[in-house]
Structure 1
Amino acid sequence: MTSIQNNWKWLIAAILPLTFTACKKDSVTPPISNKTTITVENVLNSSSLVESGTFQGTGTPPVILPGQTVSFRFSASIGQAVTFSSMYGWSNDLFFAPANPGIALYDQNKKPIEGDVSTQIKLWDNGTRVNQTPGANVVHPGIAENNAITEVNGKDAQGNTYLPASSLVKATLKYEGDSYFTLTLQNTSGGTANETPLSPGVWAVSYIAGGKLLNSAPIFTSGQPTANGLTQLAEAGNNAPLYTYIKSNTGIFTPLSPILVVVYNGIDNPIFKTGEKDRNEGLKDLAQQGNATLLAAALKGRPGVKNVYVLPAPNSTVLLPIIFNQSGGAVSQELSVAKGDRIAIATMYGFSNDWFFASSENGSDATQTADISSSIKLYDNGTAVDQFPGAGNNQFNLGGATASQSNVIAGVPNPNQFTTLPAITDMIKVKINVN
């Protein structure tokens, strides 16, 4: 866990440089009335890895024998990388893995990489067992030692020799479109001086924010002691403990864009209605880019609309999620309200193509003191083709340009075709407090 904390210090200490539009607070001054305060908070316990999984052979035991292949599929955006680890089976504690942060997936022109990427695979010594001569006669577990992880480049510390990892494991990338890749690993060690089975393995893809990976070393760090279950994989080919750790760090990470708050009376929720297409009043800009300016301007002065606010978080503009013990971003605004006033909000699910959180149905009573988080739902604006949240190369906040479509606004299913999201109330909290 310490390595992940170190990797995230930059994000906690600095402003997340996403491209959400910073907005000034705007309002239409209403008649004097009761005072209340609305507070919106990002309460998501965030994860550093967007996707992860395991792979194994088809036999018993499920190792990958010389000549056999395994494949796994994942989604990734520009700047993200895929990493994995698998034991060199006929060794004491050697394993195959790419150098951190993993196998590059896009070239300098932001085009998907395809074909043979074997040269990015390396052979590593876990540093927990003295290496015997590699082969079928290796005695497990062997003599214990306490060294850091090091790359095996031709020879190990005991003088045993090894072919380059790329001669023993062939890695091939295939781009399937829409940010999806398949990585195929083939055991090509057969007939070489380093013939070996490969163990079941673990793979992972890190989130990227502000051009930096949130976890650039999910599995190991060269020059540091092994941790988090990697020893069981490197010594015995048991991928379960390492995957338990990796899975615990896989999930959701998303900021929220500046919050649009609308106070209204005598009309329906003026922001949107499910089952209708986007009204071309600015909701698309909020849902795709986190820019509430156009929608706020369209709502101002409309009959029944009393106040319109756009609330950016202090310093960072966006509301960051909870990162370890660092509280999530929050904004508050004092409102002037009267009997019959209702309140509705909207904010972008930052790492998506066009998802947004918003007040459902006709919003909430603006004159109550209450936690109204349960009235917030997650919607798909229907104006952009969806991709894996946080791993789609067309997502605006990952530097992409959305692919347009024209569907009606609808709730985002959970689970959905990409992932299972936490409960809405575990992502966003909205409270009204009468002063």
Structure 2
Amino acid sequence: MKKSINSKWLLLSAALPFVLVSCSKSHDNIPVTSHHIITIENVLKSQPLVESGTFQQPGMLIQPGDSSSITFSAAKGEAITFATMYGWSNDLFFAPANPGIQVYDASGNPIQGDVSSQIKLWDNGTRINQKPGSTVNHPGTAETKPQNIVEVNGTDAQGNTYLPASSLMKANLKYDGNSMFTLTLKNISGGTTNETPFSPGVWAVSYIVGNNLLNSDPIYTEGKPTANGLTKISEMGDNSELNSYLSSITGIFTPLSPILVVVYNGISNPIYTVGQNDAGHGLKALAQKGDASGLADYLKTVKGVKNVYVLPAANSKVLLPVINGQAGSSVSQQISVAPGDKVAVATMYGFSNDWFFATKGEIDATQASDISSQVGLFDDGTAVNQFPGAGVTQFNLAGTPLTESKPIAAVPNPNSFTTLPDISNIINVTIR
């Protein structure tokens, strides 16, 4: 069941420590020929899950003694959840208690080792339970009135008995470095009174924003009816429908930092140069922390720069994406421009290590048009990259970026972590 996140987005202004400034620079005796308004909007249709997927090939059961693994990325506070069928039952499934298995301790250190104690056995509530075992009839007798999902703690509603889930499934968590983990699920039910195969399953990781997960129960909700395809896993071991649902709510969520706008004339784009290392004038702070103040102060001293603005969004300071259909944030600024003036824009991809959006080439500041197609996404080369929105060293996820030194470069898409929407579907820039 898709969970609303409208109640959480207002926490972003406190959670994302972007620094706010507004400044301008002007020169006397420069004829002003026209006034234009530049508007920047976060148009990203955000999703609550940063990652999701399946484990074990369709039709291939995880038999006693067998294992299956999930590899994923996570930031501090994010958790891994999953579901797989107790195969020799009518409609039971294994899953962690919501929101899932925490993968970092309170200090931000990765957790490793046996996490089996966090796995529970659940009754989907759609079938009358027979005695578990190889003779269970599938699908069995439907409940006259479907019941809510409940934990099976020793016995089910029909009085059948079960060992603790941790006696049937061993879950081991391994840290692979750079915010990546592997969770291995092993079937240890062989020889027990509850021997059973496990089905192919699904898994998910939710974004965390302002210390709150955007979807803390994407697979099931205890005490509520089953939904979104979980029944097919719990009754038949078919993970396809629930995987399709989870995929539909998996994608990108990111705010944009207060927008840097520069009007200049007679020089090249003063914000950045592709192929060169960060020049140390403040772009690093913008790309890593969303703090444009230092770069704005520097640009005011550059010959050929006419005006500099840093534009925070109202209320939230950062530009929020589209959330559950509610329009994303936007900012606007009137600029005074003369023939030959150019305009440049830059803002941080908030849930990254050091990615920033910026206009490419020379853009005529006097021409009224949509210039979104002239915006690119760049890697500042000053911090080690991690999965966007799931990196423990990402500044806006309470981390400290790990230093590296590489030339500024365009971020490839797809990249080694994910596939991003077209940039014009993330940020919209217009001059009118």
Report the TM-score range of the alignment, normalised by the length of the smaller protein. Answer: over 0.9
Moved over 3 A (4+): 12-16, 29-33
Task: Indicate yes or no: 2:405 matched with 1:406.
Answer: yes
**Amino acid across the alignment from 1:361:** G
Deviations 1:147-200 (A, max 9, x none): 100000000011100000000000000111111110000000111110000000
Paired residue for 2:139, among 130, 138, 141?
A: 141
Aligned runs of 1:102-113 on 2, under 5 Å?
A: 102-113=100-111
Matched, 1:395 2:394: yes
| Residue in 1 that maps onto 2:265 | 265
Q: Is the 8 A contact 2:89 2:136 kept in 1?
A: yes
Q: Tell me what 1:368 maps to.
A: 367
Shift of 1:13: 4.6
For structure 2, which runs of at least 5 residues remain unmatched after alignment?
none
Q: Which residue of 2 aligns with 1:178?
A: 178
1:51-130 to structure 2, matched below 5 A, reads: 51-56=51-56, 61-130=59-128
1:26 to 23, 26, 30: 23
Residue 335 of structure 2 corresponds to which residue in structure 1?
Answer: 335
Confirm whether residue 17 of structure 1 aligns to residue 14 of structure 2: yes
Separation in structure 1 between the aligned mates of residue 92 and residue 345 of structure 2, nearest angstrom: 54
Match of 1:227 in 2: 227
Q: Deviations over 1:303-346 (max 9, x none)?
A: 11000000000010100110111101100001111111110000
Moved more, 42-51 or 23-32: 23-32
Contact map agreement 2:116 2:169 (CA 8 A) in 1: yes
SS at match of 1:325: coil
Tell me the distance in 2 between the aligned counterparts of 1:22 and 1:10: 24
Contact between 2:11 and 2:210, CA under 8 Å: does it hold in 1?
A: no
* Alignment coverage as a number of residue pairs: 427
Q: Compute the displacement of 1:29 (Å).
A: 3.4
Map of 1:226-245 to 2, 5 A cutoff?
Answer: 226-245=226-245
Structure 1 residue 309 corresponds to structure 2 residue 309: yes
CA distance in 2: counterparts of 1:156 and 1:11, whole angstroms: 36
Deviation digits for residues 10-68 of structure 1 (CA, Å, limit 9, x no counterpart): 224544423333423211235443110000000001111111111115xx830100010
The aligned residue for residue 278 of structure 1 is 278
Alpha-carbon distance in 2 for matches of 1:283, 1:354: 10
**1:428 and 1:128 mapped to 2: Cα distance?**
45
1:10 is paired with a residue whose SS is coil
Contact 2:40 2:427 in 1 (8 A): yes
Greater shift, 30-39 or 152-161, is seen at 30-39
Q: Find the aligned partners of 1:400 and 1:22 in 2 and give their Cα distance.
A: 16
Residues in 2 aligned to 1:9 and 1:163: alpha-carbon distance in whole angstroms: 40
2: CA distance between counterparts of 1:20 and 1:112?
24
Name the aligned partner's letter for residue 235 of structure 1.
E
Give the conservation status (yes or no) of the 8 Å contact 2:21–2:292.
no
Q: Return 199-208 or 25-34, whichever deviates more.
A: 25-34
Distance between the aligned counterparts of 2:142 and 2:401, measured in 1? 53
How big is the alpha-carbon RMSD for the aligned residues of Structure 1 and Structure 2? Answer: 1.1
Letter in 2 for 1:10: S
Q: Which residue of 2 aligns with 1:386?
A: 385
- Given that 2:46 and 2:254 are in contact with CA atoms closer than 8 Å, whether structure 1 keeps it comes out as yes
Task: Indicate the residue corresponding to 2:417 in structure 1.
Answer: 418
Deviation at 1:357, TM superposition (A): 0.1
CA positional deviation for 1:234: 0.5
Greater shift in the superposed pair: 46-55 or 23-32? 23-32
Q: Distance in 1 between matches of 2:117 and 2:286?
A: 43
Contact preservation (8 Å) 2:6, 2:323: no
Contact kept? 1:16, 1:209, Cα under 8 Å: no
Aligned AA (1:205): V
Residues 273 and 361 of structure 1 are in contact (CA less than 8 Å); yes or no, is this contact kept in structure 2? no
Give the structure 2 partner of residue 41 of structure 1. Answer: 41
- 8 Å Cα contact 1:263-1:306 kept in structure 2: yes
- The aligned amino acid for 2:61 is V
Could you tell me the TM-score, scaled by structure 2's length? Answer: 0.97
The residue type paired with residue 20 of structure 2 is C
How many Å separate the matches in 2 of 1:129 and 1:48?
Answer: 31
- Higher mean alpha-carbon deviation, 324-333 vs 29-38, is at 29-38
